[in-house]
Structures are given as C-alpha cells and as structure tokens.
A and B are shown apart, each in its own frame.
Chain A
Amino acid sequence: MSLEVPTSTFALPAGLDPSAVVALLDDRFDLELDPPATVRSTVVDTADRRLGAQGLELTLEGGRAAPTLVLRDGAGSPPVTAPVVPRRRWMAGDLPPGPLHDRVAPVVGVRALLPLAALRADVRSLRVRNGDGKTVVRLRLTAHATLDDGDRPVPLESRLDVQGVLGYPRARARVVAALTGDAGLAEASGTLADEAIAAAGGDPSGLRTKVRVRLAPHDRTGEAARRVLRDLAGMVEANLPGVLADDDTEFLHDLRVAVRRSRSVLRELRNAFPPEDLGRHRRALRWVQEVTGPTRDLDVQLLGWDALVADVPADRRAALDPVLAVLVDHREAALRALRRALRSASHREAWASYRAFLDADPGPGTVPPDAARPVAEVAGRRIRKVYARMVREGGAIDDTSPAADLHELRKRGKELRYLLELFGSLWPDEAVRPLVRSLKGLQDVLGTHQDREVQAAHLRGLATELAGRPGGPDALLALGVLVDRLESDQREARARFAERFASFASPAQAGIVTGTFG
C-alpha cells in the first residue's frame, strides 16, 4: 500500500517575476496565500549526503531564538521538526527523542550532521482550495534565494514546490498543467539544497569513497594510474578538514582508505612510474597511514565497545568503566599526535610534492617500462599475479600456521580488492563480480581474525595502566572476559577460513581469472 503523494518542484527562470506565477495561479484557482516571510536556513546533512541520497532534506531554521531542525521528505509528508541546541555538529544521539530522531538516526549512522550551506529566501505558502474551501493542493514558493555566504550573497534559482493532498490527485494535475502549459515552467533539475551546496563550493552528491574515473582498456597505464591517483588524492584532501576537526570517525576511515588505495596503485603499477620519485612518495603515503593508525585503531575499539560489552554480565559491566576511560584518554592523545603530524610543514611539503608528481606531464626522457602499455594489460597481469600468489600462500595455511600468515594473506587480498575496485570496470561485470564476491567473503573472515587479534592485544596492553587507576583490579578481572570474547571471535573466524578460501581458490574461480585477466 502506498500513501505517498507526488511532489514536484518547478524552477522559475531568472527573468520571470515570481509574483507573476502567483497571479496566474490566483486567476485560475481559489488560492489562499500566506504573506511572504524571509527565512534563513542552513542545509544540514552528513558530509557524504546520506539524507540527500534518501530524498530527505534537513534544515536548521528558527534563528538563534528557536533553533529547530526541520525534516522534509519530498513524498508529501508534513515537515517533522525538533528543537535543538545549536552546535558545530550533531551526532544522532544529540537529537531529542521523537519522530525526527527516529527518521534520521538510522540513515546517518555514525556520521555527524554538519551545516553544509546557509540560505536566505523569501518563502510563501499557497493553498489551492476546492468548492468546500478545503485545501486540495499545497504550494511553497521560494523566491529571491541566495547563498548566505558572508558579504557576497550568491543568487540561487527561485522554485515552486507543488505538493498534492491525499485523495485529490486531479486538483494537483490541474495545477501542474497550468504551471507547465500556461506558465511554461519546467521541473527543477536538483534540489535547492544541492544548488546551495554547489554554490558554496561543495559537491552536491557529498564526499564519496568510490573512484569516478572513466577508463578504457587501451589507455596508457601511466596516465590512467595518475588519473585514478588524482581522484584518490582529492578524497584525501576532502576528508582532511573533517579529520582535523574530529567531526566524526568516518572522515579518518575514508581518508585512510583513499591513502591505502593510492599506495596499492603505486605498488602494483610501480613500473608505470619513474623509479626515482616513486620511493619518496610511497614513503610519504606510508607515513600518513602510520600517523593515522593509532587513532583509527582506537575508533574501532570505541565504536565496537557497546557490542563488545553487551555479553558481559550486567553486574560486572560497571567494572569496565575504567577501561573505557583509558581508551578515551588514549584516543585523545592519539588525535593530538595525528593533528600535529598532518599539520606539520614536512607533511604539507611532502603532499604538495606528491600532488605535483601526479599533475606532472611525464614528458620525454626515459619512459618507465609499463607507462605506455595499455592499462588493461598491466592491471590484468597484476590481478592475475596477486590472485595466483594468494592461492599459493593461502593453500599453505593450515591449523598450525601462525596468525601472521593470515594477516599477510589479508594484506594481499586488499591489494587484489583495490585493483578490482579501481580497474575492474575494464572487464565484463559478470567476470569481475563473482571474484569480488568470493574475495569479500574471504576478506571478511581474515579481517575479523586480524581485528580481534589487534583488539585483544591492545586491551591486554592496558593492564599495567589500569592496575594503577581507581577500580583497576576489578577492571582487570572484567577485562579478561572481553579478551576471552575477542579470542573466541578470532577462533570462530579462523574456523571459517578453510571454507571461504576453498570458494575463492576453486578451479572454477581460477579459470575465470585466467580467462578474463590473462
């Protein structure tokens, strides 16, 4: 059953006076108009526009006197509001309990809600009524909109939202016909929020983690790899302010993924780059990964904390409070170190040099051996080789193998995954997708195995520090329960390894790899 009511948004061309549209509607329909009001609002969403992607629009309205978040869904539902305390950002847990929280929280997850663009507009509500004086269509005119960006307001398109009322579809159709026919209006291509974010210099689709580079099989590897790396470097730069501001944990996660993918490209396609520069840039990227690692490890511990302690008997859970306090203290220290490192002059120089390397025209001179070769040939060869190596190394793993062997295999798996993610579009989807699926299945197991190893080792390492804190002895006892739980998870993951690896290394899969990337 669908009770959705269609909503359309029409763009008003720059030369058209919005009042002329109102006059036209007033002439055709029984129109009730509210007086226009100047409204200041701020578009609020996660940095990766999770709400926008779901067709939801969240704005902060009401000024300083009554700051209120307003959620509109574009499906005919009335706006949902919640009073809020003004902040630089809101996590889902900062929103007051109620319908707005319930709609927003599952969509934003662990990401912060951030102000993305400030707007000012003359907003006017209009209602079309039927013979009983009943509202049958609602309209909202947003005119003279500007991006409220300091001293230089940027004009935005005027818009008219037309929202039907449940049970009165014909009235809405008549209004739409008048607007498209008599007034000659066309539907707006995006939302006002999208337009404002673009005018503020942002990307309306939000920060992304997927590389958007169109590759062709015969592109020269050196140039293709540089295009991919430039896109990844853009992601690192886009996430950096959020990392330094510590707005939410995902900025750091996404920055590290972009760095790791970049390192992978530089390593796997190393023969496409001049060797004299390569080592320096690879070291610079590895350094970024190292200085950001401790904070991320602690984020993983803290994000998983509630789930981890859920199994601890309630009467012993309070004993773990000192453990949590230590983790929070450690994260603060790690973040301070991360900020010092990423704000340092040496990092800025190294990054500028890396950027120059990506933007440089390789020019004449000695051409690295793979630079001019077709990217499908070079990347395909690497995919084949990394896959073959994983099959060889994974096949040697048995119940007696040390954890380090599984960790090494996981690292290879990441290399393969990044090659497939970044260059997989060069081959048929039906060949790439099953490989990605079986690789993902294997990596999930290897990831759990390694993460639990790191977490357990980290918690064990807190013992000395905990012993000296109030409540320390009790915390140490309860800590043992957590470490047991992590080790048990790790054993379970290891028990699933053989089955997942068998699927990944099956003759059928190997045949597809040879046939596709050979």
Chain B
Amino acid sequence: MKVVATYNIKGGVGKTSAAVNVAALAAGQGLRTLLWDLDPQGAASFLLRVRPKVRGGGRKLVRGRSDVADLLRGTDVEGLDLLPADFSYRHMDLVLDESGKPARRLRKVLAPLAAHYDLAVLDCPPSISLVSESVFDAADALLVPLIPTTLTLRTFEQLDEFLAGVDRRPQVLAFFSMVDGRKRLHREVVESLPQGRGDIAATTIPAATEVEQMGVDRAPVVVRAPRSRGARAYEALWDELRPRLGL
C-alpha cells in the first residue's frame, strides 16, 4: 500500500479537495483506496457524506486500542473507503506526545490495512506539529497545494528544510492550487517558477466554481462533473502523481 498525504502548513489552500478527488480518481481506476480524514474539522468526511465520528475517539485509535476495520466506512465512490474524522483529533498532538515513538504512530495504525488497500490518502490538518511528523513518517509522498502568492515559495522552502531533518523523508510533489488566471499576481508567480523543477507539478488546479460547488453537492468534482475544467485538472495531477508512487 502506498501512502500519499495532502499537506500544507496553511489552511484553505485546497488540501481536502485534492485528497478527495485524487482518492476518487484512484478508486475509479480500480485501486483499492482508503482516505483518512485527519482534520478534526472533518471536511473530507462531510464531502463524502460520512458522519465525522470515530467510535472510541482518536486516542484509542492512535494507541492501537480500536479495531480500525470497525471504523471504516464505504463511500458513494465505489472502491473508496473512508476512515472518518473525529473532533477529538484536535488533541492528537497531545495523544501522540504521550505515546512512545510518536512519529511512528500513524504508520502503525495503517499497517494492518496495507494488505487491503493499494493506496491510502491522508488529508492532514494545517499545522506543523507532531501530527505532521507522524504523517511524514507514514507517507511515501506529500502532495502540497500552493496558492500562487509571493510568500508561497518561501513557505515551500521552509517545508523542504524541515523535511531535510526527518528520518524517513517522503518525496514531495507541490502544485499550484486555486489559480485564478485573471489575477496578474497568480500568473506571474506560476510563470516565475524555474522550469523543470521535479518537485512542482506541471498541472495547476484552477479556482473553478465546480470545485467550490463540491461543498454543496457533497461529492468529488471528478465524480459529479467529470468533464469540467476542475475535474480534468485533478485528473492531470493524478496522472503526474501516480507513476511517482509506482502504482
């Protein structure tokens, strides 16, 4: 099972949209896919119409005292299952801090699922914390959405520096998200990037109405409007990511 995490230290940059759509695309291509909504706000769970509730809460789950199979929920997308969010995940840093080897905990939770899934997508809360470290340890790849602003590259470089210090460095694929072609700044930032950087995807995700509409439809845009501009952009992003995961 390959593990990819959508991550950014900032919120509201398109992590959940990327996680849900990439997971739905993978499932649609026949990969047995799991999405773990690690964000206590539960946006991914909401989009997939699953109640953000985990029996026993995050503490029991992270400490290995819950049978993770009982917590999984099938979604409306065939082949995509969800490990839902829970409001108690807001204390996950504390729970990890109390555990032995906190950076390894999430990988341990995922271990028994490895035989059942080809891909796990982790939708992470915006922070840089013990949760992030545990995510970095569990992930084979980080999918990092970037809003094209002047400080964006600086933030991305900070992440790069942080990852240089972790034991098990995942590969990184960043992509520009919520790109508004009418804004000069967005165009300039996207165009100013050095060509051929291996860690930044050629695909950009547009700030499109149909992507925002997901919150109303409660379905991935790649399912609800597969021919839309937004859906095609996520498809192109997944096409870039999939070979990097060896899938």
Interface residues of A (CB under 8 A from B): 1-3, 5, 76-81, 98-100, 127, 132-135, 138, 165-168
Contacts and interface: CB of A to CB of B under 8 A. Distances in A.
Contacts of B74: 5, 76, 135, 165-168
B49 A99 contact: no
Nearest to B49: A134
Given A165-B74, A167-B73, A78 B79 contact: yes
Interface stretch (B24-32, B138-146, B149-157, B226-234): B24-32
B109 to A, nearest CB: 13
B34 to A, nearest CB: 10
Nearest to B82: A167
| A interface majority secondary structure | loop
A1 B115 CA distance: 9
Contacts of A165: 73-74
Given A77-B32, A77-B79, A99-B31, A3 B51 contact: no
Contacts of B49: 132-134
Q: Which 3 A-B pairs have the closest CB atoms?
A: A78-B78, A166-B74, A134-B49
Given A77-B79, A78-B78, A166-B72, A132 B30 contact: no
A132 B72 contact: no
B193 interface: no
B50 interface: yes
A166 B81 contact: yes
B76 interface: yes
B73 A100 contact: no
10 contacts: A1-B112, A1-B116, A77-B32, A78-B30, A100-B30, A134-B75, A135-B74, A165-B74, A167-B74, A168-B74
Contacts of B50: 132, 134
Nearest to A166: B74
Interface of B: 27, 30-32, 48-51, 67-69, 71-76, 78-79, 81, 112-113, 115-116, 118, 218
A102 B153 CA distance: 41
B20 to A, nearest CB: 14
Contacts of A77: 32, 79
A81 B71 CA distance: 28
Contacts of B30: 78, 80-81, 98-100
Given A99-B118, A134-B75, 12 more contacts: A1-B116, A3-B69, A3-B116, A79-B78, A80-B30, A100-B30, A127-B76, A132-B51, A166-B73, A166-B74, A167-B72, A168-B73
Given A1-B112, A98-B30, A100-B30, A135 B76 contact: yes
A80 B76 CA distance: 16
| B interface majority secondary structure | loop
Contacts of B68: 1
Contacts of B71: 167
Given A3-B116, A134-B50, A78 B27 contact: yes
Contacts of A100: 30
A2 B79 contact: no
A478 to B, nearest CB: 35
A133 B73 contact: no
Contacts of A127: 76
A77 B30 CA distance: 9
Nearest to B50: A134
Contacts of B79: 77-78
Given A99-B30, A99-B31, A132-B49, A2 B76 contact: no
A78 B112 CA distance: 21
A138 B73 CA distance: 14
Nearest to A130: B49
Contacts of B115: 1
A78 B81 CA distance: 11
A216 B37 CA distance: 64
B105 to A, nearest CB: 18
A40 B228 CA distance: 30
B170 to A, nearest CB: 24
Contacts of B81: 3, 166
Contacts of B75: 134-135
Contacts of A138: 78
A131 to B, nearest CB: 10
A81 B118 CA distance: 16
B73 A1 contact: no
Interface hub of A3, A80, A127, A166 (most chain B Cβ within 10 A): A3
A353 B109 CA distance: 69
Nearest to B31: A99
Contacts of A166: 72-74, 81
Contacts of B72: 3, 166-167
B152 to A, nearest CB: 36
A149 to B, nearest CB: 31
Contacts of A3: 69, 72, 81, 116
Nearest to A82: B30
A79 B73 CA distance: 18
B69 A1 contact: yes
A164 to B, nearest CB: 8
Contacts of B31: 99
Nearest to B77: A78
B116 to A, nearest CB: 5
Contacts of A168: 73-74
A34 B197 CA distance: 45
A78 B30 CA distance: 8
B144 to A, nearest CB: 27
A81 B28 CA distance: 10
Nearest to A32: B76
Nearest to B79: A78
A93 B57 CA distance: 47
Contacts of A78: 27, 30, 78-79
A3 B78 CA distance: 14
Contact of A134 (B32, B69, B76): B76
Contacts of B32: 77
A167 B76 CA distance: 12
A460 B113 CA distance: 53
A99 B69 CA distance: 23
A366 to B, nearest CB: 67
B67 to A, nearest CB: 8
B204 to A, nearest CB: 28
A237 B66 CA distance: 57
A324 B181 CA distance: 60
A127 B219 CA distance: 15
B38 to A, nearest CB: 18
B69 A2 contact: yes
Interface hub of A1, A80, A127 (most chain B Cβ within 10 A): A1
Contacts of B69: 1-3
A292 B75 CA distance: 55
Interface hub of A100, A134, A135 (most chain B Cβ within 10 A): A134
Contacts of B51: 132
Nearest to A2: B69
A5 B72 CA distance: 12
